[in-house]
């Protein structure tokens, strides 16, 4: 069910949600958190689709801010979605202009679930220091997506400079399956036998740079990036050893191949992760992502980005 409320206030919206819940006999006790999404009108439906799907695993209240022209008339319109249109959540879409086009605490305070964690997600280009924004100061978890930045490397350095405990990034979450497989390979080898690493990936993919930075941090060996076609993400990781290279390679399919000298080729499931997958993972944990902090602060400076820099020129 969708309900439109034109030229309204957040106080009226909160009262309407309560009335709808009481009328339908559904309470908010099952909601485990509040997810606040700060986006624009073009990105609204894709962000909401991912959030609704993730809410099936993490029932929540979704507050989506699709803010318009700050120089326009002071106005706030709301759209409420409950039942089948909202997954396992309450959905509040706020469209504001003028004084209501600024994503601050007063715009969402009346709609937050009491005594529940708050997660803020910026699906598009995020603020330089998310924790210092009005929404970021409210949040227990702040999710950005460096893939939305116009330049992958500069976007990551910006995330590094603005990183605080509680921050995470979808470009990092997309690496979860790659990191699991590479860690399993290293468990089967002597990590000290790895002399250098090459990550083959698209230069416009911050996930490529983060994977290389993670490996530089973990192995303390030279890590370089061999850039492949833009838009193709990560293609392969090559661990160079005197006993023979180990290569984990994935083309456009969801199956990767593991090549090791003296062993048959292994086929490994390695699907590309959707925003829904990544968002659900981030909503699963609210503690600081210390590994990402280390990768940004210590791994990124130790990674050879010459191939990426050359391809960006």
| Contacts (Cβ under 8 Å, ≥6 apart) of 137 | 105, 131
The Cα 101–Cα 261 span in angstroms is: 59
Q: Which residues of the chain have pLDDT under 70?
A: 24-30, 83-88, 228-229, 231, 304-313
- pLDDT reported for residue 310: 47
Closest C-alpha to 111, from 89, 141, 133, 140:
89
The Cα 158–Cα 248 span in angstroms is: 30
- Phi and psi of 128, rounded to 5°? -60, -45
- pLDDT reported for residue 88: 62
Cα Dmax for the chain: 70
- pLDDT reported for residue 271: 94
- pLDDT reported for residue 166: 95
Closest C-alpha to 107, from 80, 141, 134:
134
Taking residue 108's Cβ as centre, other Cβ atoms within 10 Å add up to 22
Opening angle at CA 199, ends 303 and 273, nearest 5: 110
- pLDDT reported for residue 281: 95
- pLDDT reported for residue 313: 38
Q: What's the token pair of residue 198?
A: 């090459």
Q: Output the pTM of the full model.
A: 0.91
């Amino acid at each position: 069910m969708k309900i439109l409320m034109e030229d309204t206030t957040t106080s009226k919206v909160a009262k309407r949600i309560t009335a709808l819940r009481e009328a339908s006999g559904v309470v908010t006790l099952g909601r485990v958190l509040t997810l606040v999404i700060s986006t624009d009108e073009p990105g609204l439906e894709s962000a909401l689709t991912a959030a609704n799907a993730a809410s099936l695993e993490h029932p929540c209240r979704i507050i989506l801010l699709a803010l318009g022209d700050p120089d326009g008339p002071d106005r706030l319109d709301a759209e409420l979605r409950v039942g089948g249109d909202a997954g396992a959540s309450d959905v509040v879409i706020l469209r504001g202009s003028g004084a209501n086009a600024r994503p601050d605490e007063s715009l969402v305070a009346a709609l937050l679930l009491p005594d529940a964690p708050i997660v803020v997600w910026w699906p598009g280009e995020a603020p330089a220091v998310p924790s210092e924004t009005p929404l970021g100061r409210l949040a227990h978890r702040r999710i950005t997506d460096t893939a939305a930045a116009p330049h992958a490397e500069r976007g990551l350095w910006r995330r590094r400079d603005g990183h605080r405990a509680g921050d995470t990034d979808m470009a990092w979450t997309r690496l979860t399956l790659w990191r699991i497989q590479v860690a399993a390979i290293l468990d089967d080898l002597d990590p000290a036998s790895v002399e250098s690493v090459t990550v083959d990936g698209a230069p416009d993919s911050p996930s490529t740079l983060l994977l290389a930075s993670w490996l530089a941090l973990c192995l303390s060996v030279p890590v370089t990036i061999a850039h492949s076609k833009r838009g193709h993400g990560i293609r392969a990781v090559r661990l160079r050893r005197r006993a023979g290279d180990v290569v984990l390679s994935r083309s456009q399919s969801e199956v990767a191949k593991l090549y090791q000298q003296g062993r048959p080729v292994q086929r490994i499931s390695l699907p590309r992760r959707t925003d829904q997958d990544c968002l659900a993972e981030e909503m699963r944990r609210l503690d600081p992502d210390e590994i990402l902090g280390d990768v940004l602060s210590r791994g990124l400076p130790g990674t050879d980005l010459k191939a990426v820099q050359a391809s960006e020129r």
